[in-house]
Amino acid sequence: MEPNRDNNKNKPQKPEGNKPKGYLTPLMIALVLVLVFSWVMNTVKKSQYTETRWDQFVEAKDSNQLAEVEIQSDRVLYMTKEEAEKEPSQQKACFTGLPSGDRMALADELAAMGVEVKQPIVEDNSMIMMILSYAIMIGAMYLLMTMLTRRMGGDGMMGGFGKSKAKVYMEKQTGVTFKDVAGQDEAKESLQEIIDFLHNPQKYTAIGAKLPKGALLVGSPGTGKTLLAKAVAGEADVPFFSISGSDFVEMFVGMGASRVRDLFQQAAKVAPCIIFIDEIDAVGRSRDTRYGGNSEQEQTLNQLLAEIDGFDSTKGIVCLAATNRPEILDKALLRPGRFDRRIVVDNPNFQGRLDTLKVHTRKIKLSEDVDLKKIAHATAGCVGADLANLVNEAALRAVRMGRKFVNQEDLMASIDTVVAGAEKKNTVLTETEKRLVAYHEVGHALVSTLEKKSMPVSKITIVPHTEGALGYTMYLPEEEKYLSTKDELLSQVRGILGGRAAEQVVFNVQTNGASNDIQKATALARHMVSLYGMSDELGLMATASVHSQYLDGQAHQDCSQETAFKVDMAVQKILNQCYEDAKGILMNNRALLDEISEFLLVKETITGDELMAFVNADKNKLPAPESEQEAAEE
């Protein structure tokens, strides 16, 4: 039986009726603050004087002991001659209440006695001034509190503190289903069970099964973790609470835990629903001393764990979370009964990239010559966000060129833009620099082409790009590979060092243009030694570990200084050997190197097919082996 999917019933209803107006809260707070401020000021002011009786003031006046007097509306401030003779810091004035009578007569009498009378009162405006000052203070405090409330965004507590910032998305608002997610078939299959449970919970409760309360989406940035979570909500047709882990972190202690409680209270009112916490590592970081932490973050994490344990999964509340740093999450967060199901959202393979390109080009007008398979081959290693950006760049290029359709050239050019950046049209190279760049790039391509176990070259260009230095060589893998042998990795190192080898063979110079090549070759050789166990000196010993697998993926040394020295020596040995091999290949094929480089200097950009035409023609010029010549003579 199809469950009731009336979206209006799932939407949380806002209470109506006696809810106070939004402006009352800052006004009341401002009024209270002004009254407290006035009370404090009066208390401080009164503490500066000693209170006396009226007869004591009259006695001091009659005995001519008054030094100075100030007559106010309701009291008299005075200082005796004895106090006036003391140091200013030790003087103490007195005050007494002023009985009803003629204040002006008292002022004239004191003046006749030679007493200094400060500010004789002619007309009493103190009440008006006090009311005016209070009005100004209340207005200023009201404006200040209104600005704070608007800036901190909300109703309820001051500035919305303690209130969850989660947004509720219904299916009509997200508009995302599994049809909009491509290249993640394994992840969608794992999440399909959650959708089925939200549709038909009776099928699971009847047999006594419980759905996992939480699922953790793990993958590199741009692989589509948030998109998958929205697709689950769209497929299940349930409310979707979305909040970032950083939204729980506040400078006030206890606010994060309060927001966690409020989030789950909102979810319980509209169950079945999905709670999605993006970048959960911001609040779920490990509490041990290795990664550090603070009390507010720990309180928020403890409250999150308590809320996950507290709700009943049979009600249809499912928690999804996403991170690209699973290694730093607290173990208590990943134990069974919490986020125990890990769903890896990995980089798409060839078929996944092809499907993703089809999704992103659904609304793009494509010409008949577009071959998405070739684009999928050329974008090995790209994630969904990269492919979406690639398609958009191609559409923008087509508009700039004045076309109404995106053709294959636009898509291939957009690959250059995404990989190497835009062309630097204002960069002018000298003839010597241009020849150096041409030989450098052909050195890469020729060494890789003549190596039997290297990826084929797709394109060589000496046109400067913003991120591709003064030129670059693009490779196009023939097939998707997940394993590489030692010989294949060594071939890659030789190809990377082919540019520097060409500079040395042809010009006998070394330029800074090979800096990025040397970094890549060194990193690959270090991985061979430290992670892959491909060193004759160290054997199967792992001397490094990868801490951020889904981010930079860099290996950090985890060995003694003596072993690290051996690692450096082994890496240097691999680099030196591969560099000498690359120079040997280029010296043995010097004529071919010159021919291709001169052709590249003229065209500035050549394809892999044009490169292979030169290589195959050169092979046909080679003399037959000696054994074949002897056989022909016989």
DSSP states of 114-164: T-EEES--SS--HHHHHHHHHHHHHHHHHHHHHHHHHHHT-SSSGGGTT--
Strand partners, 285: 329
Quickly state the pLDDT bin for 232 (edges 50, 70, 90).
Answer: confident
Percent of the chain with pLDDT over 90: 19
Quickly state the pLDDT bin for 325 (edges 50, 70, 90).
Answer: confident
Q: Please, what is the angle between helix 384-400 and helix 408-420, to 10°?
A: 120
Q: How far apart are CA 541 and CA 570, in angstroms?
A: 13
Residues 513 and 530 in one domain: yes
Q: Of 71, 103, 124, which closes a domain?
A: 124
No. of helices (H) and no. of strands (E), the chain: 24, 16
Whole-number mean pLDDT of the chain?
78
More confident residue, 295 or 56: 56
Catalytic center residues: 441
Residues 391 and 437 in one domain: no
Q: Of 344, 367, 396, which closes a domain?
A: 344
Least confident of 70-79, 101-110, 182-191, 558-567: 101-110
Structure tokens at 410: 């636009």
* Residue 173 is assigned to a structural domain of this protein: yes
Range of the domain at 120: 48-124
> Is residue 497 scored above 90 in pLDDT?
yes
* CB contact at 8 A, 233 and 354: no
Quickly state the pLDDT bin for 583 (edges 50, 70, 90).
Answer: very high
* Residue 9 is assigned to a structural domain of this protein: no
* Residue 19 is assigned to a structural domain of this protein: no
**How many residues are given for the chain?**
634
* Residue 139 is assigned to a structural domain of this protein: no
Question: What's 507's domain CATH number?
Answer: 1.20.58.760
* Residue 96 is assigned to a structural domain of this protein: yes
Q: For the residues 186-211, what does the mean pLDDT come to?
A: 79
| DSSP string over 65-96 | -EEEEEE-SSEEEEEEHHHHTS-GGG--EEEE
For residue 167, the model assigns a pLDDT of 52
Summarised one tens digit per residue, pLDDT across range 545-563 is 887 777 767 777 888 889 9
* Residue 526 is assigned to a structural domain of this protein: yes
Summarised one tens digit per residue, pLDDT across range 119-152 is 644 444 555 656 666 677 777 766 766 666 555 4
Q: Give the number of domains in the chain.
A: 4
Residues 209 and 70 in one domain: no
For 532-547, give one letter per residue: b (16+ CB within 10 A) or e. eebbeebeeeebbebe
> Is residue 572 scored above 90 in pLDDT?
yes
Residues 564 and 588 in one domain: yes
Task: Compute CA distances 390 → 25, 261, 321, 479, 581, whole Å.
Answer: 50, 42, 28, 21, 37
Integer-rounded Cα Rg, in Å, for the chain is 40
For residue 501, the model assigns a pLDDT of 95
Helix, strand, or coil (residue 406): strand
Residues 335 and 194 in one domain: yes
Residues 195 and 314 in one domain: yes
Nearest to 346 by CA among 319, 378, 384, 391: 384
Q: Residue 149 CB: number of other CB atoms within 10 A?
A: 19
Residues 388 and 328 in one domain: no
Quickly state the pLDDT bin for 162 (edges 50, 70, 90).
Answer: very low
Summarised one tens digit per residue, pLDDT across range 501-511 is 999 999 999 99
Residues 439 and 586 in one domain: yes
Query: Which helix (H) or strand (E) segment is 526 a member of?
Result: helix 515-530
Question: What's 262's domain CATH number?
Answer: 3.40.50.300
* Residue 155 is assigned to a structural domain of this protein: no
For residue 570, the model assigns a pLDDT of 93
Q: For the residues 566-592, what does the mean pLDDT come to?
A: 94
* AA letter at 604: E
* Residue 517 is assigned to a structural domain of this protein: yes
For residue 28, the model assigns a pLDDT of 67
For residue 164, the model assigns a pLDDT of 53
For residue 185, the model assigns a pLDDT of 81
Question: What's 370's domain CATH number?
Answer: 1.10.8.60
Question: What's 68's domain CATH number?
Answer: 3.30.720.210
Residues 314 and 380 in one domain: no
Helix, strand, or coil (residue 235): helix
Residues 180 and 303 in one domain: yes
Residues 378 and 457 in one domain: no
